[in-house]
Structure 1
Amino acid sequence: MSTSILLLIIFAIGMVAYILGASRASGLAAGKPSNLHSRYGYHGAFAAISAILPAVLLMAVWLAVSSSIIETKIRSDFPDDVKALPAATLNLNYGMINSISNGLRLLGDADLGAIEGMAPADVRTLLAQNGVPLADDPQPYMMTAAKSLMAAKDADNAALTVVVLVVAFIGALLGLRAISPRFRARNRVEQVMLSGLILASSIAILTTVGIVFSMLSETIAFFRAVPAYEFFFGTVWDPRFASAGSTSSGGQFGLIPLLAGTLYIATVAMLFAVPVGLFAAIYMAEYAGPKLRSTAKPLLEILAGIPTIVYGFFALVTVGPFLRDISANINGLVTGNYQNFIQSQSVLTAGIVMGIMLIPFVSSLSDDIITAVPKAMRDGSLGLGATRSETMKRVIMPAALPGIVGALLLTASRAIGETMIVVLAAGVAARMQISPFEPMTTVTVKIVNQLTGDLEFTSPQTLVAFALGMTLFVLTLGLNVYALYIVRKYREQYE
């Protein structure tokens, strides 16, 4: 039985338990709800939770543990010469065995019987015809292991189904048996819901911690091969990819060109997005009529839903050539030499297009913050004779400033982490320069470059991607901490 169907059956048992629990509570109340400590729905919810929660938890633990146990059992049956292969090769072989097992499950009885005497090439062809392509012809031990794996999975699935359904039924019966007039069902249900809320809020924290530690371990491995001072203070980026399996640290891994390009492009984008987005937010919040606001704001926020790759194409096909041709015309009018001084792929191109992408973030967040300022403050300022412009500058903006600063720093973090626009609009040249008319690249682009292709996570050329990712994490964390400091400082001054 598939996992989804098993979950549906568990929830169906829970729904039946809910109905029976509510009915049992109603019967015990004898028409007087005051005879019960909790309402009927709480008793039904307790019975449903008793049926669903233990079964789902058991199912999750079972699925997490059983796969590793089965894999260990199958690997232990490999021939000795296969066990002596490198770990990476063993992992690839087990993946192939898993694919063969899935393919055998799709075959009919006739094909399963005929596959015994087939040549490896014919087996590969047969599996490919059933939608399971293999990278190479299966070896005999792989076929034996695949059949064992299929049998083990079937036995595991059958045991899981029986045990989980038994637990669900027992939980439902115990939940129904616990219902009594003085049973505190509401307290029990609320405790479960509170635990669920705590778990949900902890997932984000635990996920962040997990991401940090996963990057940190690989970053430490990188710094064992490349000194940290060469990475953080190096001015040349030339990783020189090594061959597969090599641990050579040949090349230069200077961060400064990448970091300079990241901050330069993000700064140009913010210089374009902040004035436009902030002025748009002020107009929509304070000057636009209800009809115009209801039309203009959704149209402006459509920009936020456009994929970044589309912005990249827009920069590559439209904005870049436009700036290049404009610069050639300007140069021709001034010097008579119609040679462009703005490249199609440049910091300016990427910054402008990224700024267009960030406009809805700035305008929408700022608009919500400005409209959240109490109306009494506006009315008081206008009542004292101030104009709408003076009210905006002297009253509303100081009140909304902490929120706006936080919104702008959040937008800056979005700009620093952008990838696709930079790849297509700014190029991949890791260089240090002042001119915004030449190509540069960012940290995110080089992370993609270093992790593209069939690579092993053993060489510094690959591990440097984790060091770059850790650097971006620390950079955005610093922005968030600074945003919190600014918000608290201005809020104290205002209060």
Structure 2
Amino acid sequence: MSNEGQTPDLTGDRGFRTVRESTYKYALAGCALLSVLTTVSIIAVLVIDAAEFFSRVPISEFLTGTVFSASEGVFGVLPLVLGTFLITVGAAVIALPIGLLTAIYLSEYASKRTRSVLKPMLEVLAGVPTVVYGYFAIVYITPALNVFISWLNGTLGTQFPTLGLFNGLSASIVVGIMIIPMVSSISEDAMSSVPDSLRQAGYGLGATKFNVSLRIVVPAAISGIASSFILAISRAIGETMAVVLAAGSQPPDIPAVQSAFGIPYVAPGDLLALYSESSATMTVAMIDLATGDISGGSTAYQALFAIGLTLFTITLVMNVVSDLVASRYREEYE
């Protein structure tokens, strides 16, 4: 008897498969929920303890104070913000152009074999422990910079100050080296996603590889490049161990504010002079408070969370700006 007229049963026994898929679904949802709860818990702890601090120290005094000294009970965050600003700007000056140029080379000039070797080697920098960078700054970078400054002063007759053992310049250099892989990797990925048809159109119009790279590929990948810049700067703002070892724990002095035609400004020389001295950042101050001789529940202890909330707010704003820039300038290709 033939079975050709019967419809085959294609459903099969899906009981166990359904249970397994449901297990995967809820396990993954639990992981996602755990990450969200962790973030919410961190924010809640920062806000609650920072609120306790601001009940003892006015928020205006905290945000506008020019002296930070836990031993004296003075908690002005401006010197720490200035130290963070100095280290971040110095690191950005080093990392952003080098990282972008490296990304252009890897995306547009390097062969596949060269890229397969150089990119992993470059990303190894991101895996080096930050404490190693700090020791590298103390042992090698600071002495080398002092030798260069002495030669410069003797040759050109300049009066650049000699760097101390802990200084902002060495910290800026090592933090800049640390964030180069982030800039180059994300930027290179953004450039590699640009369609080859745009490049071929440029070559068809007679453009050189250099012009195609700078005038076609970079503008087309600007959203990813801008995001890499902002994320790298956020990384520099939150760096801890390398800055603790290289920059020291003394907050910088607020430079004198001058005025010209009623417009306040700070002399560039005063800002540059700060790089030769210790430039403690917000993260360094938090380390000092956490490892210092303070009791739980004291004002100095609560200052940890106020500084942490300030740092969290700054990095959150930077990441939101990164997302806005990426969504605003993102190019979609078919």
Q: TM-score scaled by structure 2? A: 0.86
Given that 2:152 and 2:158 are in contact with CA atoms closer than 8 Å, whether structure 1 keeps it comes out as no
Map of 1:489 onto structure 2 = 328
Q: Which residue of 20, 23, 31 maps to 1:200?
A: 31
Deviations 1:135-174 (A, max 9, x none): xxxxxxxxxxxxxxxxxxxxxxxxxxxxxxxxxxxxxxxx
Q: CA deviation at 1:226?
A: 1.1
What are the within-5 Å matches in structure 2 for residues 306-321 of structure 1?
A: 306-321=128-143
Verify: 1:232 aligned to 2:63, yes or no: yes
Deviations 1:81-123 (A, max 9, x none): xxxxxxxxxxxxxxxxxxxxxxxxxxxxxxxxxxxxxxxxxxx
Map of 2:264 onto structure 1 = none
Distance 2:229 2:201 in 1: 28
Q: Which residue of 273, 280, 286 maps to 2:102?
A: 280
Letter in 1 for 2:34: I
Letter in 1 for 2:250: A
Is the alpha carbon distance of 1:334 and 1:231 closer, same or farther for their aligned partners in structure 2, counting shifts above 3 Å?
A: same
Given that 2:161 and 2:276 are in contact with CA atoms closer than 8 Å, whether structure 1 keeps it comes out as no
Q: How many residues align?
A: 311
Q: Which residue of 437, 445, 456 maps to 2:295?
A: 456
Q: Tell which structure's C-alpha radius of gyration is larger.
A: 1
Verify: 1:298 aligned to 2:137, yes or no: no
Map of 2:312 onto structure 1 = 473
Q: TM-score scaled by structure 1? A: 0.59
What are the within-5 Å matches in structure 2 for residues 315-394 of structure 1?
A: 315-335=137-157, 340-394=161-215
Q: CA deviation at 1:227?
A: 1.1
Deviations 1:49-84 (A, max 9, x none): xxxxxxxxxxxxxxxxxxxxxxxxxxxxxxxxxxxx
Is the alpha carbon distance of 1:344 and 1:383 closer, same or farther for their aligned partners in structure 2, counting shifts above 3 Å?
A: same
Deviations 1:3-30 (A, max 9, x none): xxxxxxxxxxxxxxxxxxxxxxxxxxxx
**Unaligned segments of structure 1, at least 5 residues:** 1-33, 47-184, 241-249
Is the alpha carbon distance of 1:38 and 1:462 closer, same or farther for their aligned partners in structure 2, counting shifts above 3 Å?
A: farther
Map of 1:211 onto structure 2 = 42
Distance 1:412 1:485 in 2: 16
Map of 2:84 onto structure 1 = 262
Map of 1:440 onto structure 2 = 279
Given that 2:142 and 2:170 are in contact with CA atoms closer than 8 Å, whether structure 1 keeps it comes out as yes
Distance 2:98 2:175 in 1: 13
Structure 1 consecutive aligned stretches of length 4 or more whose deviation exceeds 4 Å: 492-495
Given that 2:199 and 2:217 are in contact with CA atoms closer than 8 Å, whether structure 1 keeps it comes out as yes
Is the helix fraction higher in 1 or 2? 1
Pick 1 or 2: higher relative contact order, CA cutoff 8 A, min separation 6: 2
Map of 1:425 onto structure 2 = 246
Given that 2:220 and 2:331 are in contact with CA atoms closer than 8 Å, whether structure 1 keeps it comes out as no
Distance 1:299 1:316 in 2: 24
Q: CA deviation at 1:343?
A: 2.9
Given that 2:122 and 2:181 are in contact with CA atoms closer than 8 Å, whether structure 1 keeps it comes out as yes
Considering only aligned residues, what root-mean-square deviation do their CA atoms show, in Å? 2.5
Letter in 2 for 1:262: T
Map of 1:411 onto structure 2 = 232
